[in-house]
Amino acid sequence: MTSITMPANTPEDQWIAIQHKTFVNWANEQLSLGNRSVENLGTDFCDGVNLVALVEALQFKKIGKVYSRPTSQIQMLQNVTLALHAVEEDHVKLVNIGTDDIVGGNLKLTLGLLWHLILRYQISSSKTKAPPKKLMMLWFQSVLREN
């Protein structure tokens, strides 16, 4: 698997590159049982196949029929819709993230979606009484330490 290089000209670009690397690692950890992986979050969720696989891995269940090889934008939109509906039904509040954003490859909104998934399925599901913000910082430190 090759790694993409994200431009890092400004502090915001650097932060996006750090998020991208961290979230790619997290997503690949979740997808590993299904023999799937992602490299570029701006493109690898566009057809919805990997996104559905990620949501199914997080929820430990099938969420519906996915077009495994979508041939049209409509099929891609349906796959992403399937994933987003499953996430919303699991009480994850998605604000300003739509199917067109994911299919269109909007990296910032895809990172936002993944952040919500991490909060819900990684951090909030913890059995500790520590505040979520502290858990989040500990999680980030542990993930970044591995790289």
Domain that holds residue 59: 22-146
Does residue 128 lie in a domain region?
Answer: yes
State how many domains the chain has: 1
Does residue 11 lie in a domain region?
Answer: no
Does residue 1 lie in a domain region?
Answer: no
pLDDT in tens, 93-104: 888 999 999 999
Does residue 76 lie in a domain region?
Answer: yes
Pick out the chain residues at pLDDT < 70.
Answer: 1-8, 125-133, 135-136, 145-147
Mean pLDDT, all residues of the chain:
87
- pLDDT computed for residue 2 by the predictor: 43
Does residue 14 lie in a domain region?
Answer: no
Q: Looking at residue 42, which CATH number applies to its domain?
A: 1.10.418.10
Long-range contacts of 112-118 (CB under 8 A, 24+ apart): 114/23, 114/26, 114/27, 114/41, 115/19, 115/23, 116/87, 116/92, 117/54, 117/55, 117/58, 117/87, 117/92, 118/23, 118/26
pLDDT cut 70: percent of the chain above it: 84
